[in-house]
Chain A
Amino acid sequence: AQKITQTQPGMFVQEKEAVTLDCTYDTSDPSYGLFWYKQPSSGEMIFLIYQGSYDQQNATEGRYSLNFQKARKSANLVISASQLGDSAMYFCAMREGVRYAGNMLTFGGGTRLMVKP
């Protein structure tokens, strides 16, 4: 079974509007962390935001926020006020057993976001 599922292979959003990128996960470990990365066309992986399974509040970082719904096992990324530079591939990832920092990240298949002027 897939541990991380991103059901939207591609999305369009109008500049200055908000967009939500979906991510669902599957784990039986009570301790896990969820991550979002941005991969522009240049190829690098840019860390955006992190949510721990025990965190009481949804994570926010500037225009990025994470809509964490633990019971539904979803961790959707919300980008507010989209900019042209937000056009990129976005990956959701999970680390299980988050107290052990050495555990690997498992990635979803990604969502390609295209921002229209």
Chain B
Amino acid sequence: EPEVTQTPSHQVTQMGQEVILRCVPISNHLYFYWYRQILGQKVEFLVSFYNNEISEKSEIFDDQFSVERPDGSNFTLKIRSTKLEDSAMYFCASIRGTVGAFFGQGTRLTVV
């Protein structure tokens, strides 16, 4: 069964560094998302991406964040100048139709 794949599964970075989280969505899906879950809290929407551009973003998704689809398969989230409060699980999700969004296994980002 096709699945959304995220790399790395866990990343530790120093405060102030840039990180790139990578995702390979399901191949025939059209909409892509990034969500984040701070430990013990609810899942929060960051950004949605369609047709090579951002379609919607939350107030969390400020200038520190950017997304890109550099080729036909990868979907990346870049976090510039990471802060301690960026430590969270980051989920990529993709969807083709209106039913269900399939999530990757997540990248646990730890900022030290």
Contacts and interface: CB of A to CB of B under 8 A. Distances in A.
Interface of A: 33, 35, 37, 42-47, 50, 52, 91, 93, 95, 98-99, 101-110
Nearest to B91: A45
Name B's interface SS. Answer: strand
Nearest to B43: A107
A35 B33 CA distance: 16
28 contacts: A33-B98, A37-B103, A43-B89, A43-B105, A43-B108, A44-B103, A44-B106, A45-B93, A46-B103, A47-B100, A47-B101, A47-B102, A91-B43, A93-B43, A99-B98, A101-B96, A101-B98, A102-B48, A102-B50, A102-B55, A103-B48, A103-B56, A104-B48, A104-B56, A106-B45, A107-B44, A109-B41, A110-B42
B45 A102 contact: no
Interface in B49-64: 50, 55-56, 58
Q: How large is the interface on B (under 10, 10 to 19, 20 to 34, 35 or more residues)?
A: 20 to 34
Interface in B14-63: 30-31, 33, 35, 41-45, 48, 50, 55-56, 58
Pick the 4 closest A-B CB pairs, nearest first. A45-B103, A44-B105, A107-B43, A104-B45
A33 B30 CA distance: 18
Given A91-B42, A101-B98, 17 more contacts: A33-B98, A35-B101, A42-B105, A44-B105, A45-B43, A47-B102, A47-B103, A50-B99, A50-B100, A91-B43, A101-B31, A103-B48, A104-B45, A104-B58, A105-B45, A106-B45, A108-B42
Interface in B64-107: 89, 91, 93, 95-106
Contacts of B48: 102-104
